[in-house]
Amino acid sequence: MKKKESKDDIENLNPYEVDKLSKIPAWLVIIFIKYWAAAAAVFFMTIGGLDIGVDLTTEGDINYNLNISFMIIVLIALAMAILFNYAIKQVVIMMYSRRRNTFRYNIINFRGFSAFLCYLVYMFVVSVILYFFVNFLSYKGWVLNVFGKTEGYGIEPFTYGFCFIIVDGIFVSIKDLGIMIYQRIKYKKQMSDNTPIIVGKGA
């Protein structure tokens, strides 16, 4: 005779656990989709042939190069802000459960247009860091030349995506650490405020 399921077992049942993909750790899935988003943003905004009115392969004076660099950074930041706010964040929210807090893998978890603006600022800062860092790696020859050997140096999608995972992981860890410290301070303050006053016998 089959054992009757308890009420707690039914409440804790995850309907998605029947899928074999649910056995994959959430952090691994999130890292993969973040990597894909960063690489896709670089590819479609630069290498993929997007016509933005300038020739990204033409070398010019320092002002020209700075303008091109700024344009690339803005385009990549915009693409990543859209992908992360309207796609990846939604996936992370859907993966959330009482047993796995996937929110801690996101830098921003609130909704609304303000979340997109925050993502845009965040991605701009990250894109500035990664643009110069990946260019440095390219200058040293430490990139994955999937699209063939190119003259000079520049950013490359797969290396960019890998570097993004590292930089984003650092920022997310700082955010999670700050939240943990804040919650501990708040908890200790609540405990001290609720501490009963014990009156001695001689009082």
Phi, psi of 159 (to 5 degrees): -65, -40
Residue 148 lies in a domain: yes
Helical residues (DSSP H) of 84-156, grouped into ranges: 89-94, 113-140
Name all contacts of 107-114 with Cβ < 8 Å and 24+ positions apart.
107/168, 107/171, 107/172, 107/175, 108/84
Residue 197 lies in a domain: no
Residue 18 lies in a domain: no
The 10s digit of each residue's pLDDT in 102-143 is 898 999 988 889 999 999 999 999 999 999 898 888 777 776
Number of independent structural domains in the chain: 1
**Quick one: pLDDT at residue 26?**
87
Nearest CA-CA partner of 167 in 136, 139, 125? 125
| Residue written as token pair 């056995």 | 23
**Contact yes or no for 77/124 (Cβ under 8 A):** yes
Residue 2 lies in a domain: no
pTM summary value? 0.74
Q: Give the whole-number percent of the chain exceeding pLDDT 70.
A: 68
Residue 138 lies in a domain: yes
CA angle 159, 78, 65 (to 5 degrees): 65
Q: Is the pLDDT of residue 80 over 80?
A: yes
| Overall average pLDDT of the 176-193 stretch | 88
Residue 29 lies in a domain: yes
Q: Is the pLDDT of residue 90 over 80?
A: yes
53: left (phi over 0), alpha (psi -120 to 50) or beta: left
Burial environment of residue 156 by CB neighbours within 10 A (0 to 12, 13 to 18, 19 or more): buried
Residue 43 lies in a domain: yes
Q: Which domain holds residue 93?
A: 24-192
Q: Which residues contact 139 (CB under 8 A, 6 or more apart)?
A: 153
Residue 5 lies in a domain: no
